[in-house]
Amino acid sequence: MHDFEAVLQRVRSSGLRLTRQRRIILRAMCDLDGHASAEEVYQRVSRSRSDVDLSTVYRALVRLRDLRILSQIDLGRSCAEFEIVGERRHHHLVCVSCGTVMELDHSYLAALEEAVRHDFDFDPAFDHFALFGHCAECAKRGPGFRAGAG
């Protein structure tokens, strides 16, 4: 649940052309709580009678991601997922066996971020990333499934 008007404002000030389709897509992204793949966004916007082509969805998501209005993430579902960039920086714990996704506050990564920046002169794009592993229940049940997912 993000402020649609605020997002529109960000788009306008970025200079990106605000078309009917992009408006629809942004509305869907704002309403949505969490992530969505291009296909999912497409499904949602297709419900409204003024539908949008799938390729347009793809193009819009990429543009908006480049402007940092959306962030892109790989949650291990073999497709890119997107989310409105909000104020709280957060990341994700993804269970590779049951698919559960938990949020991880950015503070957990602050030290690592600093160390990498200092020691390697490397600026990590730590805005939204996924950490794969096993949740408590699945760990109990024993290993198996997808191994080194990254």
93 is a contact residue toward DNA (CB under 7 A):
no
Q: Which does 102 bind (CB under 5 to 8 A by kind): a second copy, DNA, none?
A: a second copy
Which of 16-24, 27-35, 85-93, 117-125 is the region at the interface with DNA (rule: CB under 7 A)?
16-24
What letter does residue 149 receive in the DSSP assignment?
Answer: -
120 is a contact residue toward a second copy (CB under 8 A):
yes
- Backbone φ and ψ of 84, nearest 5°: -65, 135
According to DSSP, the β-strands at 70-74 and 80-84 are: antiparallel
Answer for the pair 129, 73: CB distance below 8 angstroms, yes or no: yes
Residue ranges in 7-26 that form contacts with a second copy under rule CB under 8 A: none
* C-alpha–C-alpha distance, residues 4 and 70, integer Å: 13
Given the rule CB under 7 A, which residues bind DNA?
12, 16-22, 37-39, 51-56, 58-60, 62-63, 78-80
